[in-house]
Amino acid sequence: MKITKIKEDITTEIASSFKNSIAIDTEATGLQIPERDKLSLIQICDEKQNVYIIQPNKNNYKAPNLVSVLENEKILKIGHYLRFDKNALEYFLKCKIKNFFDTKIASKIVRTYTDAHGLKNLVQEFCNKSIDKRFGSSDWNKDINELTDKQLEYAANDVIYLHKIKLELEKMLIREKRFDLFKNCVEFLNTRVELDQKGFKEDIFEH
């Protein structure tokens, strides 16, 4: 695994190197976006397991090269619990993410033999790896060059396994004839994020 630290935006060369799919994740100052917290880091992993950790410009959050990738319909964006990451990226980068696969939604639809749908659980089952989540509660807003190797490794682990997990979950969804149901749920995620941004945090389908 190669980790590249980047400030503000990826280069046009990096953007053009992404072909079919990327894995994405974010770190923030907390979970209340956009009411209180800010987007701190953006992690991207390509199909060759090159990881890019990007610290956006917190004055204007302008990242046109990154936005061009997120809005590219030909590039699949793979993430785990994209409800949060999609909300953060679209709100701060002023973009609309197109063509995405949420491994948490897929897991909940097809892994009905368990109630453990966290990324750590999926990495253990499909990659036979144990990842350390202790550094999740970190000050991600400090300068990227001040982050420790362990913190960078934690951030990278959130994307490095997603391509493999996506392939395994996709096979299961097709086998169990639930792929169309999954696609409908992913499509609804656009509306769920819009509800979040307008303050509707509760489940609107509850009695």
pLDDT at 135 over 80: no
**202, part of any domain:** no
Cα distance between residue 116 and residue 123, in whole Å = 11
* Per-residue pLDDT tens over the stretch 44-93: 999 999 999 999 998 999 999 999 999 999 999 999 999 999 999 999 99
**84, part of any domain:** yes
**206, part of any domain:** no
pLDDT at 207: 82
Residue 163: which domain range? 2-197
**203, part of any domain:** no
pLDDT at 31: 86
Structural domain total, the chain: 1
Cα distance between residue 174 and residue 205, in whole Å = 27
CATH at residue 25:
3.30.420.10
- SS3 sequence of 61-97: CCCHHHHHHHCCCCCEEEECCHHHHHHHHHHHHCCCC
**204, part of any domain:** no
Mean pLDDT across the chain, nearest whole number?
95
**57, part of any domain:** yes
Secondary element (H or E) of residue 44: strand 39-45
pLDDT at 34: 81
Higher pLDDT, 1 or 111: 111
The predicted model scores a pTM of: 0.94
**33, part of any domain:** yes
Nearest to 139 by CA among 61, 26, 40, 32: 40
**207, part of any domain:** no
pLDDT at 88: 96
pLDDT at 156: 96
